A = this chain, B = another copy of it.
Amino acid sequence: MSTTSPAGTSPAGTSPAGTSPADKAGILVEALPYIRRFWGKVVVIKYGGAALSSFQGGTTGVGVGVDRGGGTFAQDVVLMRLVGMYPVVVHGGGPQIGQVMERLGKKPEFVDGLRVTDAETLDIVRMVLVGKVNRDIVGAINVHQPLAVGMSGEDARLITASPHSPALGFVGDVDVVDPTIVRRLLAEDLIPVVASIGADAAGQAYNINADSAAGALAAALGAEKLVYLTDVEGLRRDPADSESLVRSVSVDEVEAMVEDGTVQGGMIPKAISCALAVRGGVGHAHIVDGRAAHALLLEMFTREGVGTMVSP
């Protein structure tokens, strides 16, 4: 039989973390309306690239890695599932591919910012995305709850692709998404983690841009939300002014911002994918700063939100 310490006179005691029980309760209660609103809804999360590399990772293997210890991303995804949402993770892995190619003495070539992908490069891309990055994300989630199942867009014809241009080799565009396999896994309460590889009808694999893959999958699933975890705070009205972060924007405005050059560089595919997804029936698309701990959780469950939200 254990009795309370002398100080334990208040019903709930004092939180060791310095937050009072009342504050704790308040924050849990603040989450209530969000949990209610997103109960049973599909949320597609694009994770990877720069967000992945912001984790220190890299002490194992060929130098790519998701830090499992600090993996707040994995915790956030599991929590989303446990409170009734259906998260689907889509990832690429550009930096990790580069590292392995370097190790293999293969020089990356880019045309218009897209990686020229010959047969050998494709094999490396698949190995890194499916055999390394996908594995690390699945592993990080399953430490918390054994719910993640890794897959590639090639599985059960999830993503049918065709060549982007002859000059680029096995770089593909998404032609059709058949989300049957993803729906089946969701129906089993699992968390699909999808590497952005596609295949054509003859079984030839293609390297797909992960931003586009995430947007197309979100539209095919009729997702409630599409969230891009990136390494910027969101879209800016003035690229040079960090104070000009756009909190909320319509799909028309986003398209205008792309057209008039307000959106630049690596943000262009994300902005376009956001617009396409929302036009394709997704409820809202978000560009969120994945460098902050629990960015996903804060975006989903608190009043503040983070980054930029694109609405219909």
Contacts and interface: CB of A to CB of B under 8 A. Distances in A.
A284 interface: no
Interface string A285-305: 000110111110110011111
Contacts of A259: none
Contacts of A59: 119
Instruction: Give the number of times this chain occurs in the complex, counting copies.
Output: 6
A156 B142 contact: yes
Interface string A134-167: 1100111011111111111011110000000000
Contact of A78 (B19, B32, B84, B130): B32
A243 interface: yes
| A interface bracket (residues with beta carbon within 8 Å of B) | 35 or more
A60 B24 contact: no
Interface of A: 1-4, 6, 8-9, 11-13, 15-17, 19, 21-32, 35-36, 39, 59-62, 64, 68, 72, 75, 78-79, 82-84, 100, 103-104, 119-120, 122-124, 126-132, 134-135, 138-140, 142-152, 154-157, 178, 181, 184, 188, 190, 197, 199, 202-203, 205, 233, 237, 242-250, 253, 288-289, 291-295, 297-298, 301-307
9 contacts: A1-B249, A2-B248, A3-B247, A32-B144, A68-B203, A83-B84, A127-B132, A130-B150, A135-B197
